[in-house]
Amino acid sequence: MILGGDYMQEIHKRIKLEREEHNLTQEELGTKLGIGRSAISNWESGRKTPDGKTLDSLANIFNCSIDYLWGRTNVKNAHVINRQINGNNVKIEIDEDYFKKCTPSDIKQILDDIQSAGFDVKKFIDS
């Protein structure tokens, strides 16, 4: 898969952000991944991009999805169990434990993303 443009701009920012949020130095993250500090530096500066296997490892270390690292979504990890599309109907099942861990800002981001996709979220919220 070849990606460019905004995704390439976003991945290096998110790797650095997540590393810092997890209180890891470049060297410590490199040790967890079995690579050198310079590789982490290259990713964070946008000079290089991690391969698929390494992206999977980063997502596991940071407890987020690969899509989040790429910048395809602002939801770190939605824990989607099942997704079905039938005509205009979309059904998404999400692991109930996910919402127990969500902060109010996480929930707001999810609702904003749903609304950005063209759905009226107000009809799903009890007043």
pLDDT at residue 126, rounded to an integer: 56
Does residue 1 form part of some domain? no
In this structure, the strands spanning 89-94 and 80-86 are antiparallel
Question: Which segments in the chain show pLDDT lower than 50?
Answer: 1-5, 81, 127
pLDDT at residue 5, rounded to an integer: 43
pLDDT at residue 40, rounded to an integer: 97
Does residue 31 form part of some domain? yes
Helical axes 6-21 vs 37-45, angle rounded to 10°: 130
Q: Are 68 and 79 in contact (CB under 8 A)?
A: no
Q: Are residues 55 and 95 in the same domain?
A: no
Listed in sequence order, the DSSP H helices in the chain are 6-21, 26-33, 37-45, 52-62, 66-70, 96-101, 104-116
pLDDT at residue 31, rounded to an integer: 97
Q: Are residues 10 and 66 in the same domain?
A: yes
Does residue 14 form part of some domain? yes
pTM for this predicted structure:
0.60
Q: Are residues 95 and 113 in the same domain?
A: yes
Gyration radius (Cα) of the chain, Å: 17
